[in-house]
């Protein structure tokens, strides 16, 4: 029995690095994950310095492979010519603080500016937002201000929630943060380090440090409060599978084949591309027979499978992360069962369902915060968000894409 699968096996992947949880026995791995967060964001700051430095001379086609960092750096590069600050009628306002207060806690323009400009960059930058506003300028600008304010409110709620639960960031992680900043300054030099911060919309080192501390605290809240829910959600709603892939050809080979086929067609020659996968199917059937007859699946994987992206322990996923047919085949299996052959554009797959590996989940909880966990988190935090009292400074309504730089 051959099941045909849609072209892309994976629909998406989990990337929210703020959500993680520490469970007994997983301390070292999870702390390493949090340290990687520090290193990752420090690297983005350094990357922003490099991108900003090249922005004036590099061709647009030579952008960095990191789309988010490139977008951020490009947006900031275009704004760098303008002095940072809030400008009303073309004149910089020298005293804007506080731009708002959240439950009595003052928010400086510098702090608000980071969240606002980051939101603006995610929307394509000032020019793009101004162009898209059309005749709904005020509504769009209000929504943009509110989005930045919401992020600040959420950060405040996390801090309050952490205090209520007795959650703090470890001294080791705070030292790791200090070390990462010191290393970046040493590597870049004071002047370039400051430029790199500005390229990421931070006005000062302390603004960056405060933002990083908020991220670590948000992680720690999830570490100390939500681990059991995350693990239980995985056990109830995820499947753990390994698979053997007998590929048709690599994407590179496919691209080359398509190019050759196009050239041949243009010259009137018959295409050399072939849809005959009988050889691969014969191999898959041979492997399936061995697997069904009790040969060790891991040994067969090592001998036959050509999926370079598959972790040694296989894939653990929930509904919505794989194309439907592969998902259905995996969920239809009982633990220990082996599927028939599943066909995708990558080749033929033989899937084996395994028990959920709790130890591995505990070490990688970061990857398993999904929409179910978002719902639980929202249930706990939304009442606190609703109670937050916000007051706005006299210049708050003056903030717009063409006034705040």
The CATH number of the domain holding residue 291 is 3.10.50.40
Percent of the chain residues past pLDDT 70, beyond the cut: 74
Looking at the fold, whether 47 and 193 belong to one and the same domain comes out as yes
Above 50 in pLDDT, residue 202?
A: yes
Question: Which one is predicted more confidently, 30 or 72?
Answer: 30
pLDDT digits (tens, 9 = 90+) for 226-236: 989 989 999 99
Domain membership of residue 333 (yes or no) is: yes
Residue 35 has pLDDT above 80, yes or no: no
Please tell me whether residues 185 and 238 are part of one structural domain.
no
Q: Residue range 264-268: average pLDDT? A: 39
Assigned domain for 396 exists: no
When pLDDT is averaged across residues 262-266 and rounded to a whole number, the result is: 38
Residue 141 lies in a domain: yes
Strand 91-92 and strand 87-88: the pairing is antiparallel
Task: Indicate if 178 and 36 belong to the same structural domain.
Answer: yes
CB neighbours of residue 344 within 10 Å: 20
Cβ count within 10 A of residue 325: 16
In-domain check, residue 194:
yes
Mean pLDDT of the 5-25 span: 35
Query: Does residue 256 carry a pLDDT above 70?
Result: no
Could you tell me the CA-to-CA distances from 230 to 42, 199, 362, 368 in Å, in that order? 28, 36, 9, 7
pLDDT band (50, 70, 90) for residue 43: low
Instruction: Say whether both 252 and 296 belong to one domain.
Output: yes
Same domain for 176 and 35? yes
- Its domain, for residue 164, covers 27-56+66-225
Average pLDDT over residues 297-303: 96
Q: Taking the model in full, what pTM does it have?
A: 0.68
- Tell me: the pLDDT tens digits for 134-174? 778 888 899 999 999 999 999 999 999 999 999 999 999 99
The answer on 211 and 286 residing in a single domain is: no
Residue 386, domain member (yes or no)? no
Mean pLDDT of 50-76: 42
Query: pLDDT band for position 42 (50/70/90)?
Result: low
**What pLDDT, on the 0 to 100 scale, is given for residue 17?**
22
Any domain includes 379: no
Model pLDDT, residue 20: 28
**Are residues 244 and 212 located together in one domain of the fold?**
no
Report yes or no on 389 lying in a domain: no
Domain shared by 156 and 292, yes or no: no
pLDDT at 251 over 60: no
User: Is residue 214 located within the same domain as residue 90?
Assistant: yes
- Better-predicted residue by pLDDT, 64 or 109: 109
Number of structural domains, the chain? 2
Q: Is 80 helix (H, G, I), strand (E, B) or coil?
A: coil
Residues 6+ apart with CB under 8 A from 213: 169, 174, 177
- Indicate whether 213 belongs to any domain: yes
Inter-residue long-range contacts of 83-88, CB under 8 Å, 24+ positions, other chains counted: 83/405, 84/113, 84/198, 84/203, 84/405, 85/109, 85/404, 85/405, 86/395, 86/398, 86/399, 86/403, 86/404, 87/403, 87/404, 87/405, 88/395, 88/398, 88/403
Q: Which tokens in the block code for residue 398?
A: 């003056």
Lowest mean pLDDT segment, chosen from 25-34, 323-332, 392-401: 25-34
Q: Based on the fold, state whether residues 210 and 239 are members of the same structural domain.
A: no
**Same domain, yes or no: 38 and 73:** yes
Higher-scoring residue by pLDDT: 363, 149: 149
Task: Please indicate, yes or no, whether residues 42 and 186 belong to a single structural domain of this protein.
Answer: yes
404 within 8 A of 113, measured Cβ to Cβ = yes
Say what the pLDDT of residue 284 is: 97
Query: Which pLDDT score, from 0 to 100, does residue 32 have?
Result: 67
């Amino acid at each position: 029995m051959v099941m045909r699968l849609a072209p892309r096996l994976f629909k998406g992947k989990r990337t929210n690095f703020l959500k993680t949880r520490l469970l007994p026995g997983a301390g070292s791995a999870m702390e390493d994950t949090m340290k990687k967060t520090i290193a990752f964001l420090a690297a983005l700051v350094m990357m922003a310095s490099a991108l900003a430095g090249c922005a004036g001379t590099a061709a647009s086609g030579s952008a960095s492979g990191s789309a988010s960092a490139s977008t951020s750096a490009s947006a900031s590069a275009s704004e760098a010519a303008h002095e940072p600050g809030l400008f009303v009628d073309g004149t910089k306002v020298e005293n804007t603080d506080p731009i708002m207060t959240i439950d009595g806690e003052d928010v400086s323009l510098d702090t608000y500016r980071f969240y606002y400009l980051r939101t603006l960059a995610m929307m394509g930058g000032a020019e793009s937002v101004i162009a898209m506003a059309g005749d709904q300028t005020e509504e769009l600008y209000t929504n943009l201000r509110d989005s930045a304010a919401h992020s600040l409110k959420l950060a405040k709620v996390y801090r309050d929630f952490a205090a209520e639960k007795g959650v703090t960031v470890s001294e080791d992680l705070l030292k790791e943060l200090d070390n990462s900043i010191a290393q970046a300054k040493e590597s870049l030099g004071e002047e370039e380090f400051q430029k790199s911060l500005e390229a990421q919309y931070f006005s000062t080192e302390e603004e960056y440090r405060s933002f990083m501390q908020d991220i670590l605290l948000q992680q720690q809240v999830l570490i100390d409060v939500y681990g059991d829910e995350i693990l239980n959600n995985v056990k109830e709603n995820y499947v753990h599978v390994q698979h053997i892939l007998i590929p048709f050809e690599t994407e590179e080979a496919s691209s080359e084949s398509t190019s050759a086929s196009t050239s041949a067609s243009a010259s009137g020659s018959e295409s050399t591309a072939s849809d005959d996968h009988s050889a691969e199917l014969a191999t898959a059937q041979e492997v399936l027979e061995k697997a069904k007859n009790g040969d060790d699946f891991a040994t067969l994987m090592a001998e036959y499978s050509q999926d370079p992206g598959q972790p040694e322990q296989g894939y653990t996923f929930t509904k919505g992360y794989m194309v439907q047919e592969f998902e259905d085949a995996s969920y239809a299996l009982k633990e220990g069962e082996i599927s028939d052959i599943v066909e995708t554009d990558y080749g033929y797959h033989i899937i084996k369902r395994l028990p959920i590996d709790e130890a591995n989940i505990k070490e990688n909880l970061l990857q398993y915060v999904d929409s179910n966990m978002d719902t639980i988190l929202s249930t706990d935090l939304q009442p606190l968000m609703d109670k937050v009292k916000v007051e706005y400074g006299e210049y708050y309504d003056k903030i717009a894409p063409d006034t705040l730089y």
